[in-house]
Chains A and B, each alone.
Chain A
Amino acid sequence: MAEVLLKNVVKKYGKVEAVKSLNLRCKDKEFLVLLGPSGCGKSSTLRMIAGLESISSGDITIAGAKVNQTHPSKRDIAMVFETYALYPHKTVFDNMAYPLRIRKMPKSEIKTRVERAAEILEIVPMLERYPRQLSGGQKQRVAIGRAIVRDPKVFLMDEPISHLDAKLRGHMRGELKHLHEELNQTFIYVSHDQTEAMSMADRIAVMNLGELQQFDTPEKIFNEPVNEFVAGFVGDPPMNFLPCTLVTGEKQWSVEFKQFIIEVPDRVKNLTQKAGAQLSGRHGVTLGIRPDNVLLKHERTKPGDLAGEIYITEPLGSYMIVDVEIGGERIKVRADISFPGRSKDPIFLELDGDHMHLFDAGTSRSLIHQSNGKG
């Protein structure tokens, strides 16, 4: 059992609150990703769990034991650093064997474990080399190797693959997920890359400005973002936002954007009412729609279609991103690679109403999806 629990955890650097009253429960054997832009407090959070950073207030427990004052060496955690932090004066073998030697493990056992980890990570031929003789990707594997030779309660990873080139990063995402399945251990992983988070996590904790925004499965984070920040941070290309006015009628709700009027489907209306939003008359909202949920057409076929003009097209091999200008706003649409269209061409957009998101213009909170109990 290695559940990690954060209760009202605060981290202050002087007067700056880097982490604001964070509550988080990472379940045993879960792959949890702390996701957010730089400076959002995700790394500070991980370092507090590791014990490398003191906690200003609150409690952290690992496997039921409070560790607020426990030195990192006594927390039984393994960590992979963003900079790899390999010991330069030790060979790859000795780097990986170091945590085991500290635990006074018999030599034969150390050898077995290091060799097994090296096999998993495909670094057997490098065992006698020094870190300076390795490439970035190899160093990163050694850093992971040093963590997995042990049997710690929790694995902590601080952007371990963010400095690899794109191809290797894609490869390592799969490898890390596989490793998690194989080791069947608790992983807490820090990333600023939503692709990493979406592809690997069991659950994602999205953070911004020191605050937890949403904590849920990748699916829910993607489909039911609770605020504009989460909606915009997760997804590539990101969600489009249009400043609109929500008009709530007796029967029919609609969203007004400039001269266009978009009908709000009953499903969205019901969800909004269920979410408990007190709305009447006209209400300032931000309409969110993902690039996948917009259909490009050369002719207007429905009254709600928006008229715009192609700004630029970005062919990406198997699909294409089309940037469209409507009413002074620019939105991205994902289209088939065969889509014919050039800059300045007039174009019509059909929004998939069932996939629209509505955010309060004042609070940026979703009117449709409410935050579940955090943690």
Chain B
Amino acid sequence: MPKPGRILKWLGLAVFFLWTVTPIVFMISASFKGTSDIFKLPPLGDWGGIFNLLFFFDASLVQFESIFHDGSFFSHLLTSIAATGLSVLISVPAGLAAAYALSRANIPGKKHLYFWVITTRMAPPIAVMIPLYVLWRSIGALHTLPGLVLAYVTFNLPFAIWLLRGFMDSIPRELEEAAYVDGKGRIGAFMEIIFPLIRPGVGATVILCSMFAWNDYLFALILGGRGAKTLPVGISELASATQIHWGQIMAGGLVMILPMVILGLAIRKSLVTGLTMGAMRG
């Protein structure tokens, strides 16, 4: 007889699983259906019919064909990949360098500097949207890909610094000092000793920064505009005043979550923590 606590735990997990997975299952199922099939309902009272409709139907790629048909969806996808990729490529290395300096160097007023960096993330993006819009317009960055990348970096960099500094602080200074004594310079010690140890942190930072940029709607809509339209904005336009293309929205949504899933799986291996444990005494 299993303990009641255990049953409760599994029950909770089951509810949470259904809560999380049902919309995704629904999206996957709908994106492989013809438009008329999506809205099919089982007869009243036939609860099993819901299950049948979700999993047993004539699969078709018609929704995918229609979203990729005119090429604009594909270009939104490319814009999303470019904006996310570039912002991460800038934020994470720059964040690493800043975190290293904040963690190791004796900078006067370091605490205040660090706090100032963090404050940039304290206001919600919407609060700074109007000033940013004016600023972006005045420097000619409005509705351009570099402008959008810059906006993402503005928000991702402080976050990366904050996250990576925590990981950096957890690496004992002696490890670096041991590398110096062993004959490595500052950069060598960083690359060969510190970096491998904070790789889980770097992986987590890459994922979180990517997700911020990838999922963003507000910046893309207002700062990216027509010139740098990303997937979230592109997909939202499938719902117009006259018609909502549910099938295409579902297919577009599926295409959109795939890169993040792949990234997560790819980085998962380096997320394994606990490597630093036991290197020091005790």
Question: A: which residues have CB within 8 A of B?
Answer: 50-52, 71-73, 77-79, 81-89, 98-99, 102-103, 130-134, 136, 139-140, 146, 156, 163
Q: Which of B68-76, B139-147, B155-163, B180-188 contacts A (4 or more CB under 8 A)?
A: B180-188
Neighbouring A residues of B276 by C-beta, 8 Å: 88
Interface size class of B (residues with CB under 8 A): 20 to 34
11 A-B residue pairs with Cβ-Cβ distance under 8 Å, sorted by A, are A52-B177, A73-B184, A79-B181, A85-B178, A85-B279, A87-B193, A88-B278, A89-B196, A89-B197, A102-B184, A139-B281
A85-B174, A87-B178, A139-B281 given; A99·B183 CB < 8 A? yes
Tell me if A131 and B279 are in contact (CB < 8 A).
Answer: yes
Tell me if A81 and B183 are in contact (CB < 8 A).
Answer: no
Task: Select the residue from A50, A83, A163 with max chain B CB neighbours within 10 A.
Answer: A83
* Chain A: CB-nearest residue to B193: A87
Report the separation of the CA atoms of residues A83 and B276 in the bound assembly, to the nearest whole angstrom.
Answer: 13
Question: B: which residues have CB within 8 A of A?
Answer: 172, 174-175, 177-185, 188, 193, 196-197, 275-282
Q: Say which residue of B183, B196, B280, B281 sits within 8 Å of A73 (CB atoms).
A: B183
Q: Say which residue of A50, A89, A163 sits within 8 Å of B281 (CB atoms).
A: A163
Report the separation of the CA atoms of residues A166 and B152 in the bound assembly, to the nearest whole angstrom.
Answer: 57
Tell me if A85 and B183 are in contact (CB < 8 A).
Answer: no
Report the separation of the CA atoms of residues A37 and B279 in the bound assembly, to the nearest whole angstrom.
Answer: 27
Neighbouring A residues of B180 by C-beta, 8 Å: 51-52, 71-73
Report the separation of the CA atoms of residues A52 and B175 in the bound assembly, to the nearest whole angstrom.
Answer: 12
Neighbouring B residues of A88 by C-beta, 8 Å: 175, 197, 275-279
Tell me if B278 and A131 are in contact (CB < 8 A).
Answer: yes
Q: Say which residue of B181, B196, B281 sits within 8 Å of A84 (CB atoms).
A: B281
A88-B278, A132-B277 given; A81·B177 CB < 8 A? yes
Tell me if A163 and B282 are in contact (CB < 8 A).
Answer: yes
Neighbouring B residues of A84 by C-beta, 8 Å: 279-281
Task: Select the residue from B174, B175, B183, B282 with max chain A CB neighbours within 10 A.
Answer: B183
Tell me if B178 and A89 are in contact (CB < 8 A).
Answer: no
Report the separation of the CA atoms of residues A73 and B179 in the bound assembly, to the nearest whole angstrom.
Answer: 8
Tell me if B282 and A136 are in contact (CB < 8 A).
Answer: yes
Neighbouring B residues of A133 by C-beta, 8 Å: 278
Closest 4 CB pairs of A and B: A132-B278, A88-B279, A85-B174, A99-B182
Tell me if B177 and A85 are in contact (CB < 8 A).
Answer: yes
Report the separation of the CA atoms of residues A130 and B276 in the bound assembly, to the nearest whole angstrom.
Answer: 11
Neighbouring A residues of B279 by C-beta, 8 Å: 84-88, 131-132
Neighbouring A residues of B175 by C-beta, 8 Å: 85, 87-88
Neighbouring B residues of A102 by C-beta, 8 Å: 182-184, 188
Tell me if B182 and A85 are in contact (CB < 8 A).
Answer: no
Q: Say which residue of A51, A79, A134 sits within 8 Å of B178 (CB atoms).
A: A79
Neighbouring A residues of B277 by C-beta, 8 Å: 88, 132
Report the separation of the CA atoms of residues A79 and B179 in the bound assembly, to the nearest whole angstrom.
Answer: 10
- Minimum Cβ distance to chain A for residue B174 (Å): 4
- Minimum Cβ distance to chain A for residue B281 (Å): 5
- Minimum Cβ distance to chain A for residue B184 (Å): 6
Q: Say which residue of A50, A85, A99 sits within 8 Å of B172 (CB atoms).
A: A85
Tell me if A72 and B197 are in contact (CB < 8 A).
Answer: no
A89-B196, A139-B281 given; A81·B178 CB < 8 A? yes
